[in-house]
Amino acid sequence: MAMSELANRISNRIVEDILSGDLASGSPVRTQQIADRYQVSRTPVRDALLQLEETGFLRHFQNRGYFVSENIPEAALEQAAEEFGTDSVDYQQFAEDWLTDQLPEVVTEQTLRQRYEWTKARLNEMLARAAREGWAERKEGYGWRLLPVAKNAEAFDEIYRFRMAIEPAALLEPGFEINRAALDEQKRIQSKMIEGEISHMPKERLLSNGAKFHEVICQMSGNPFFISALERVNRMRRLMEYRSRVNRERLTIQCSEHLELIALLERGEIAEASYFLRRHLSGALKRKSPVVWDWSSASRQSVEPS
């Protein structure tokens, strides 16, 4: 089955969610929910779901829709793992070159294709991911602009101190309102990570889960300026964290603290939650510092996605 480029990207992201455990075996996969999530029409989503049924990742039941297969073929899993592994290597090389100033701020697609020997399809995948993660944008007319990110230890520490200033304050906003459904979902994600997913989940997903947790809490402030500021600095630090080792043992502590914060919010202890959140971020910063970002070295400072 020939698929559009958009349908193929949607298919890949659904497979990534299945491999990471975000979509568990037997879970429903609703066309409209996927369309809403990726802000696309239903047509490419339907094409993606049909393709995933053909490869064995999904099963379709008459009058019920699509569900994650409980017996995904081993060949499909192996192929997906190989493809995502290649994608990760290519993307991280692209990101590293930007972090180490090997790429200009404005770059053309032809330049990138020649530099990395990518096909047009692969180039589009890499640029789409960079745009999605906030460090690349298409210029009006021609070419791409690579956006500022944290490229040194000082900037990384400054981002954490900024987060320590805004995140606890967001909980004390007059419009702060607890979103029970969002807390339940975050409780599920953090609990599953502690129960074993930390050991095998891809680093990118671990980092994404940590950032998403804090953004969800910040959204409850009701103040859009808090969340836009947090999302921006999270994007700016993401590439540096991709280049580092993730300390999976310490990550268990981080997830446990996330669950403690949720418990405080569920009990309505907002001031206590704000104080706890500041200590949580302060502890993460102390464990990350002093950070030695030696790009020429094979060893990296470990980080904790918080």
Is residue 110 domain-shared with residue 169, that is, in the same domain? no
Residue 17's domain spans which residues?
5-68
Give the rounded percent of residues in the chain with a pLDDT score beyond 90.
39
CATH code at 127? 1.10.10.10
Is residue 204 domain-shared with residue 293, that is, in the same domain? yes
Predicted confidence band at 142 (pLDDT cuts at 50, 70, 90)?
A: confident
Is residue 177 domain-shared with residue 37, that is, in the same domain? no
Is residue 117 domain-shared with residue 165, that is, in the same domain? no
* Domain total in the chain: 3
CATH code at 204? 1.20.120.530
Is pLDDT of 149 > 60? Answer: yes
Is residue 269 domain-shared with residue 219, that is, in the same domain? yes
Least confident of 86-90, 207-211, 267-271: 86-90
Is residue 48 domain-shared with residue 33, that is, in the same domain? yes
Task: Kindly report the pTM of this predicted structure.
Answer: 0.66
Distances (CA, A) of 168 to 130, 276, 279: 29, 8, 9
Is pLDDT of 140 > 80? Answer: yes
**Distance, CA of 222 to CA of 70 (rounded, Å):** 40
Is residue 243 domain-shared with residue 116, that is, in the same domain? no
Least confident of 9-23, 158-172, 182-196, 206-220: 9-23
Question: What's the whole-number mean pLDDT along residues 128-142?
Answer: 84
- What pLDDT was estimated at residue 20? 66
Question: What's the whole-number mean pLDDT along residues 76-87?
Answer: 66
111 neighbors 125 (Cβ within 8 angstroms): no
**The total number of residues written for the chain in this structure:** 306
More confident residue, 119 or 267: 267
Is residue 55 domain-shared with residue 78, that is, in the same domain? no
Is residue 283 domain-shared with residue 165, that is, in the same domain? yes
Predicted confidence band at 206 (pLDDT cuts at 50, 70, 90)?
A: confident
Condensed to tens digits (0 to 9), the pLDDT of residues 26-67 reads: 889 999 988 887 778 889 899 999 989 998 999 999 889 999
Is residue 277 domain-shared with residue 175, that is, in the same domain? yes
- What pLDDT was estimated at residue 298? 37
* Domain stop point among 91, 119, 146: 146
**Distance, CA of 86 to CA of 205 (rounded, Å):** 16
Is residue 45 domain-shared with residue 86, that is, in the same domain? no
- What pLDDT was estimated at residue 306? 73
